[in-house]
A and B are shown apart, each in its own frame.
Chain A
C-alpha cells in the first residue's frame, strides 16, 4: 500500500489497514470478547481502521446483530484498555459489526456468509478483501478452511488484482509435529502460505519487538552477544495464576505445549538469531528458523538430564492459599501433566557453540515475570579482592512483563577509603520513559494482518521446527516409567530438580 500511494510517503501518523471485512469464526467465544473486539475498537479509536471496514462474527449461537453488538460492547467495556467514552467512535464502529449464525460443519453457514459479505460490499464499500480469523478450537481449523474454499470465499493471491484473502490461526497450532504437519497440509490445500497468519501473541508485545531493536540498533551489545563473552542465557516465563478453570484444556496441553513450544521458543529465537538482511517478513523468519534448526536435538536418553518437569502442589501465592493442580476442577487426581518445565538447550552454531540456554516456564510460581537474561562471563583475572568469594558477572536482563524494561547489572566501588565492590544496576523502564498506554499485542497483530505484514507471525517451517524439537521431549516422556512429575509448592520457583539442573553446571537460576 505505502509503495504506490504517493500520499503515504513519509507519513508519520498511525498506520491504517487495507479496506476489508474481518470475519471472526468463534465470535461468541472468550477470545473475541476479551481480545479481538477490544483490539479492533482500539484501532478505531486510533483511526487505524480503513474507510471501508466491517466485522462479521460467525458462531453456532443463534442471535441477532443487535444482541451480538451488545455483547461486544460489554466485552469492550470490560476488557478494553480504553473504555467506551466516545460514543461517536463506538457508534461508527458498531455500524460495521454484524453476525452470521451457523455451525462450522454446515455448508449453509458459508453460503449465508458469502451472501452476507456481498451485501456488505454494496452497503459499506468494503471491497473484496477478507480476513478470516479462526478463534476456534484447532479441531475446527480443517473443517472451516475446507468449507471456505468450497463456498468460493478464498481467492488465491494474484498479480492481477490487489484484492486479497487472508486467514489468521490462533494457537495451539497442532498438538505435536505430526498434527502440525497435517494441519499445515490441510491449510496449504486451501491457502497459499503468503495468506496464512499464525498468531503467537507474544510477538505482538512491544517489548518482544524491542529485542530486535535493542540488539540490532545498538552497536554496544552485538559485539559481545556470543560465546566469547556470554556465559549462559536464562529465559523465564513464570505465571502466578493456576489453570483458572481451564483444567480440561490444560490436561490436554501442559505448559510445554502451552508456553514452551511457541512463546518461549520465539523468545529464544529472537535472542539467538543472526541479524536479518532486512525487516521483511521472510528475512526475519529465515533467521529464526536457522536458530530452531541449530537446536541440539535430544535423544530419549538425554531428556532426563536436560529437561525437568514439575506439577504444582498446594501453597501460597501472594499470601493466599491455593490448591494443588490435581485439586483443580476437571483435572485428574492422578494427572501427570506438567505445569512447570525447565530445559537446558544448546544452539549449536558458530555464535553460540557451548553456551547453555536455560529456559523455564511454569504456573503458580513465586511471581509473574517474563524475562530474557544474558549472563556474561566473569572477568578473566581477579584484580580486586572481593570478600564474598568473587566478583559477580554482569547481567543484562530484558524484562518482557511486567515492568517492561532493560537492566544492566555491573560492579561499582563503594565510596570510601577501602576498595569495596558492590553490584549496581542501570535500570531502564518503558513505562517511565515512554508512558504506559501502549497498544495491546492483538491490536498490533490485527493491524499487521490487515496490512499483510507477516513478520510477527510464524511461518509453516518455523512452527514445524518448533514441534520437531519439542517432540523429542514428549517422546522421552511417553516412554518414561509412569512416575508423576515432581511436585513443587505453589508460590515457589519450581521443583528442586530444576535447581539441580543448573547446580550441575555450577550455575543458579535467577530470582527475577
Chain B
C-alpha cells in the first residue's frame, strides 16, 4: 500500500519489478513491525500458495472474501490476480496485506497479495506471481473463468502449480474437458480439480450406498435405467454435475457409450442397454443452474428388483443457520423386492464458495475417478445432450 492506503501502482511502461519489490518489502515489513501496545502477537502460517486468477477486477474483488475465508482454515499465501488483457490501459497494481484470525494460541495470519493487470502487462504477471510463490510448499491455481489451453498466461500459471481448480458449474464442462486433455498430454502437468465434482461427492456416496449390502451388491452390474433430474429450464444443456455423475457411474460400472443413428446409448459390460433419462425440474431462486435435483437407479437381477432414489429438497438449506441454499436435505431411499424400504434424510454439505473450495483443497490432488469421468463425460458434451 502507499502511505495513504491506496494500492501500489505504476503508470504504463515501467518494469513490473518495481511493483514486485514493493510487494516483497510490504510482506517483509508486515512481520517485522513492532506490536502496538495491547496488540496481540501474530503468527504467520503458510501451508500452500493459493493463486486465484480472475477475468476481471470485479470478479477478483468478489472472490477475495472467499479466499479470506479459506485461508482462515488453510493458512496460505494467497495471490489474487485480476487479468484484463483486453482493457485499453496498460497497468499493473499490487498490494499485500495480512489476513488474521484468532487461533488456538494467539492470532494466526495468512498473507494476501492482490495484483491487477491490464493490457499487455498481463503477459508479465506470470513472472511476478512466480517470484511471489513461497518455496517448498504446494501451489494451487484457482482459475475463475473459461480455460483456453492455448493461452500462455494460463499455461504458464498452471505449470507452476500442482493442481488447477475450476468450477464448471459456472464456466463450462468444455473447460474441464480441455484442461483434462492438456493435463494428460505431458507428464508432470498439474492435476485437475473441479468444484462441481467436489459438490458431487455426497451424491456419489449416496449412490454407492445402494450397493453396499450383500443382497444388493450384484445389482450394481445389473442396472437397467438411470433417471436424473437437474434444476434448469427445459431445453437447457446438460449441467456439469449431471454429466460428471453419469460419467462417474459409467466408468465405475464399465459402461460403454455407443451411438446408434447418432443418438447416445449406454451399454453395460454384458452388452445390455442402460436406459438413460435426463430431465429438468423448476429451479428455485438461489439454486445454481444445472444443480442435481434427483437420481433414480433401477436394477434387476436374480429375480429381485431394486430402485434406489435420491431426491433433493431444493433450496431447503436456506432455512438452516450456517447453511447455504444448496446445502439441501436429500431423501435417500432403497426399495428391494420383498424387503422393507430403507430411507434416510441427510443434508448435503454446505456449498458456499469458501466451503467447497476448502473441501477441494483437502482432497487428494490426483483424482483418477475425476479424470476418467471427464473423459466419459466428453461423450455427453460431444453429443450436445439437451434436457427435455
Report A's interface with B, CB cutoff 8 A: 1, 4-14, 16, 18-19, 44-45, 47, 49-53, 85-86, 88-89, 91-92, 121-127, 161-163, 402-403, 429, 431-436
Contact = CB atoms under 8 A, between A and B. Distances in A.
A429 B204 contact: no
Contact of B105 (A53, A92, A403): A403
B252 A122 contact: no
Interface residues of B, number: 54
B346 A89 contact: yes
B110 to A, nearest CB: 10
A436 B74 CA distance: 11
A402 B220 CA distance: 45
A8 to B, nearest CB: 5
B213 A162 contact: yes
Given A51-B332, A127-B213, A433 B47 contact: yes
Given A19-B212, A432-B104, A47 B342 contact: no
Nearest to A48: B205
B320 A86 contact: yes
B340 A16 contact: no
B108 interface: yes
Interface stretch (B84-92, B153-161, B184-192, B364-372): B364-372
Interface string B337-365: 00111111111000000000000000110
Given A53-B344, A124-B342, A12 B363 contact: yes
A124 B367 CA distance: 35
A49 B363 CA distance: 21
Given A12-B364, A85-B321, A86-B320, A7 B211 contact: yes
Contacts of B340: 121-125
A403 B320 contact: no
Contact of A85 (B104, B205, B220, B320): B320
Instruction: Find the residue from A10, A45, A50, A403 having the highest chain B CB count within 10 A.
Output: A10
B84 to A, nearest CB: 34
B301 interface: no
Contact of B342 (A18, A19, A92): A19
11 contacts: A6-B211, A7-B211, A11-B205, A16-B212, A44-B346, A47-B206, A89-B345, A125-B342, A432-B43, A432-B75, A433-B45
A98 to B, nearest CB: 16
B207 to A, nearest CB: 6
A92 B252 contact: no
A429 B339 CA distance: 49
B214 interface: yes
A85 B322 CA distance: 9
B47 A13 contact: no
A10 B205 contact: no
Interface in B227-257: 249, 252-254
B209 A50 contact: yes
Interface string B174-210: 0000000000000000000000000001101111111
Nearest to B342: A125
Contacts of A402: 104
Contacts of A19: 212-213, 342
Contacts of A121: 340
Contact of B253 (A6, A51, A53, A86): A6
Given A89-B346, A123-B340, A47 B205 contact: yes
A100 B129 CA distance: 64
B326 to A, nearest CB: 15
B316 interface: yes
A88 B212 contact: no
A162 B211 CA distance: 13
Contact of A429 (B104, B205, B316): B104
B70 to A, nearest CB: 11
Contact of A13 (B202, B212, B254, B364): B202
A254 to B, nearest CB: 32
Instruction: Rank and list the top 5 A-B pairs by shortest CB-CB distance, nearest first.
Output: A162-B214, A125-B342, A7-B208, A13-B205, A92-B345
Contacts of B252: 6-7, 9-10
Interface of B: 43, 45, 47, 73-75, 103-105, 108, 201-202, 204-215, 217, 220-221, 249, 252-254, 316, 320-323, 329, 332-334, 339-347, 363-364, 367-369
A9 B332 CA distance: 21
A127 B221 CA distance: 22
Given A7-B220, A92-B345, A18 B104 contact: no
B367 A12 contact: yes
Given A51-B342, A89-B345, A403-B104, 17 more contacts: A6-B220, A7-B253, A11-B208, A13-B201, A16-B209, A47-B206, A47-B347, A52-B213, A53-B344, A91-B345, A123-B340, A125-B340, A126-B342, A433-B45, A433-B47, A435-B73, A436-B104
B99 to A, nearest CB: 14
A242 to B, nearest CB: 25
B45 A432 contact: yes
A38 B71 CA distance: 29
A44 B345 CA distance: 9
B342 A431 contact: no
Contacts of A403: 104-105
A267 B368 CA distance: 36
A122 to B, nearest CB: 5
A131 B70 CA distance: 39
A163 to B, nearest CB: 8
Given A12-B364, A13-B201, A432-B103, A52 B208 contact: no
B318 to A, nearest CB: 12
A6 B364 CA distance: 20
B312 to A, nearest CB: 12
Contacts of B208: 5, 7-8, 11, 16
B103 A88 contact: no
Contacts of A91: 345
A333 to B, nearest CB: 41
B304 to A, nearest CB: 14
Contact of B217 (A5, A86, A161): A5
Contacts of B201: 11-13
Contact of A51 (B47, B343, B347, B364): B343
A88 B342 contact: no
A19 B343 CA distance: 11
Contacts of A12: 201, 363-364, 367, 369
Contact of A5 (B103, B206, B211, B332): B211
A403 B106 CA distance: 12
B202 A125 contact: no
Contact of A47 (B210, B254, B334, B346): B346
Contacts of B347: 45, 47, 86, 88-89
A119 to B, nearest CB: 11
B75 A433 contact: yes
Given A85-B322, A431-B104, A7 B207 contact: yes
Contact of A18 (B212, B341, B364, B369): B212
Nearest to B211: A5
Contact of B329 (A1, A16, A88, A436): A88
B221 to A, nearest CB: 8
Nearest to B253: A6
Nearest to A53: B344
A431 B103 contact: yes
Nearest to B362: A434
A508 B185 CA distance: 59
B334 A51 contact: yes
B9 to A, nearest CB: 33
B71 to A, nearest CB: 11
A434 B339 CA distance: 43
A124 B214 CA distance: 17
Contacts of A434: 73-74
B104 to A, nearest CB: 5
